[in-house]
Amino acid sequence: MKFCIVKGYTRVSNYSDEEKEIAIYGLKRLGMFVVSMIVAAIIGLLMGNIQGVFLFLLFFIPLRIFAGGLHLPTLWMCAIASSLLIIVIAFILNSVEGAWINGRTCSAIFLAGALIIMLLAPVDTANKLLFKEERIRYKIISIIITVLEAVIFFMSQDNDFIKMLIFLTITIEAFYLTVQKVVNIFSVKRRECEKQIV
């Protein structure tokens, strides 16, 4: 328990340093989220497809939170990569005809992506290591979200726009998970080699 003097009176602080760090981390994450949404809105407005951008994020963010995926070393690199992803999504939605999404090749790619997510998720990183209980919970939630999005994908036969959004969500997340899994494997091997050298 800590004592704080505030304007002439003493009060007891029941928060540990760790709890304060968690609160500060949470506030930073909230700030990052708000800024990301503002940037996404600006990109959507500039590219004339704010609806598509936010619908993509609606499908993508929950899956990304629980499945994990590619994490870049610095915050500014993450911000740039996220902005580029939104630009690419808006460009695809604006310029690609929707008829291709109903082909068998797209369905096969979609199913392969969904399977990769269900097998690999969750993929953690050195910055966000998951406990065993968290891994189980995140895996179950990731599978549920993937299955729900797959159901929407296959039921949206008359809505190429929604189908394309979910296709992009699943394929991008599967790619991110695969890349981060490979990065994690190489990181573990590098650490093992460093231990052997020492």
Residue reference for tokens 């953690």:
124
The first and second tokens of residue 75, run together, are 């915050």
pLDDT of 9 > 70? The answer is no
Three-class DSSP category at 55: helix
Number of domains forming the structure of the chain: 1
| Range of the structural domain that residue 66 is part of | 17-197
Q: Is the pLDDT confidence value at 169 over 80?
A: yes
**pLDDT of 12 strictly over 70:** no
Residues in a beta bridge with 13:
2
User: What average pLDDT does this structure show over 102-130?
Assistant: 88
Supply the pTM of this predicted model.
0.80
- Asked, for residue 12, whether it belongs to a domain, the answer is no
Task: Answer whether residue 88 is part of any domain.
Answer: yes
Please report whether residue 62 resides in a domain: yes
Q: Does residue 135 belong to any structural domain of this protein?
A: yes
Q: For residues 84-103, give the mean pLDDT.
A: 86
Statement: residue 10 has pLDDT above 60? no
Flag whether pLDDT at 192 surpasses 80.
no
Where are the extended beta strands (E) located within the chain?
2-6, 9-13
**CA–CA separation, 23 and 27 (whole Å):** 6
Is 115 part of a structural domain of the chain? yes
Q: What is the mean pLDDT of residues 131-156?
A: 94
Domain membership flag for residue 156: yes
Give the mean model confidence (pLDDT) for residues 104-116: 95
**Angle (CA) 104 105 109, round 5°:** 115
pLDDT of residue 21: 78
Beta bridge partners of 4: 11
Mode of pairing for the β-strands spanning 2-6 and 9-13 = antiparallel
Residue 3 lies in a domain: no
Query: Is residue 9 assigned to a domain?
Result: no
**pLDDT at residue 3, rounded to an integer:** 42
